[in-house]
Amino acid sequence: MKAAVYREHDKDPKKVVRIEDVEIPTLKPNEVLIKVEASAYNYNDLWGIWGEPIKIPLPHISGSDVAGTVVEVGEDVTKINVGDRVVSHPNLTCRVCYECTSGREYDCSSRLVWGFQTGPLWGGFAQYTHLPEVNVVKLPDNVSFNDAAAISMVGMTAWHMLVTRAKIEPGQTVLIMGGGSGMGIAGIQIAKLFNCDVIATAGNKEKMDKCIELGADHVVNHREEGWHKKVREITNKEGVDIIYEHIGKTVFPQEVGLLKMGGTLVSTGATTGYDSTIDLRYLFFRGINLLGATQGTKAGLEQVIGWVSKGKIKPVIDTILPFSNMVEGHIKMADSQLFGKIVTTPQKL
């Protein structure tokens, strides 16, 4: 089979990522073999190529978001059948520890992000891949492979942030940072499912306009000085109930100051840096909640796919690339000049 492989780290994906011939995986008894029809990009694919912030197994196949058709099942597989259309749940956990059995698989001490921390040669940028049966979700017939791959990681993570962690309630005011990213697009739509008043941020006018088209009620440019003052004006100086954060250092101090009494900031990333500061007076005088989140549960992914099937969450795809040109997706993602997800189609060379 063909797979996108890199055997060393470099800041320039073009220097190290190559389409190679590798063996089709041999299944363990609890695994399924998937013919990959669509794979979506995530920022962790860049981290893997760079070798930062953590080292990963080499040689490596990246890709954590896969949708395709099951073509073989292991002897212990009972719920998934050959021919099933599925999407990946990339949270590999032990499934037996206290955290896993209490519904907090995202806190498992053995957790690995499939396609990022796994290997060697185990990820979604390949014509075939394998996953444990418990790590795939069946797709309704009306959800395309491209849409499923595009929404799986960001949708599951966004659901976990807003529903599981921040415990979003109807009518709240929610600030979605980076509304033009895959994470932001999912966050806007989930917040609108709960009939919240959504303020989105984006880095240019084109993305700002698209956030409004997605359903955001208001939008500001987080690259402009004083952006947080505009948010406060929109709320009549009352502040916001929930801040959905994944940008990091450049905006974090201002975000904390925007929270209402008892408000919640939930963070899942720090693309502009992690060594931020906050004014601790906001923490104790306002009784705010600062929460972390990473990935989510299989049940959360199933919820998101269900809403996609009903047309209430709509995956947004910026670019679809043939596999022979898939490295261009890494370059485009690093430049951040996109609105929505990038998808590659491994069966189309």
What percent of the chain is helix, strand and coil (3-state, nearest 5)?
Answer: 30, 25, 45
Identify the CATH number of the domain defined by range 2-138+316-345.
3.90.180.10
Question: Residue 337 pLDDT more than 80?
Answer: no
pLDDT at 187: 97
pLDDT at residue 231, rounded to an integer: 97
Domains in the chain: boundaries: 2-138+316-345, 157-292
149: closest CA among 301, 329, 325, 307?
301
* Mean pLDDT along residues 147-167: 97
Structure confidence at residue 228 (pLDDT): 95
Sheet holding 218-221, edge to edge: 218-221, 197-202, 173-176, 240-245, 259-267, 289-292
Q: What is the mean pLDDT of the chain?
A: 95
Taking only the tens place, the pLDDT of each residue in 78-115 is 999 999 999 999 999 999 999 999 999 999 999 999 99
Q: Distance between CA 43 and CA 62 in Å, rounded?
A: 11
Secondary structure letter of residue 194 according to DSSP = T
pLDDT of residue 53: 84
Contact, 63 vs 125, CB < 8 A? yes
pLDDT in tens, 4-43: 999 999 999 999 999 999 999 999 999 999 999 999 999 8
What local confidence, expressed as pLDDT, does residue 286 receive?
93
Split at pLDDT 50, 70, 90, the class of 334 is: confident
Q: Is the pLDDT of residue 253 over 80?
A: yes
Give the pLDDT confidence score for residue 46 in this predicted structure.
94
CATH of 157-292, one of 3.40.30.10, 3.40.50.720, 3.40.50.2300, 3.50.50.100: 3.40.50.720
Q: Please tell me the predicted confidence (pLDDT) of residue 270.
A: 83
Q: How far apart are CA 301 and CA 137, in angstroms?
A: 8
List of E strands, 64-169: 65-73, 85-88, 91-92, 112-113, 128-132, 136-138
Residue 221, number of CB atoms within 10 A of its CB:
15
The two three-digit tokens of residue 98, written as one number? 């206290």
Q: Quick one: what percent of the chain has pLDDT higher than 70?
A: 100
Q: Reduced to 3 states, what is the DSSP secondary structure of residue 117?
A: coil
Q: How far apart are CA 296 and CA 47, in angstroms?
A: 20
Q: What's the pLDDT tens digit per position in 262-279?
A: 999 999 988 788 888 888
What is the amino acid identity at position 160?
Answer: H
Pairing of strands 85-88, 65-73: antiparallel
Q: What is the pLDDT of residue 77?
A: 98
3-state class (DSSP) for residue 330: helix
Kindly tell me if the per-residue pLDDT of 328 is higher than 80. yes
CA angle, residues 178, 329, 292, in degrees to nearest 5: 35
User: pLDDT by residue (tens digit) across 281-314?
Assistant: 999 999 999 999 988 999 999 999 999 999 999 9
Which pLDDT value is given to residue 274?
84
* pLDDT confidence of residue 279: 87
Model confidence pLDDT, tens digit, residues 222-244? 999 999 999 999 999 999 999 99
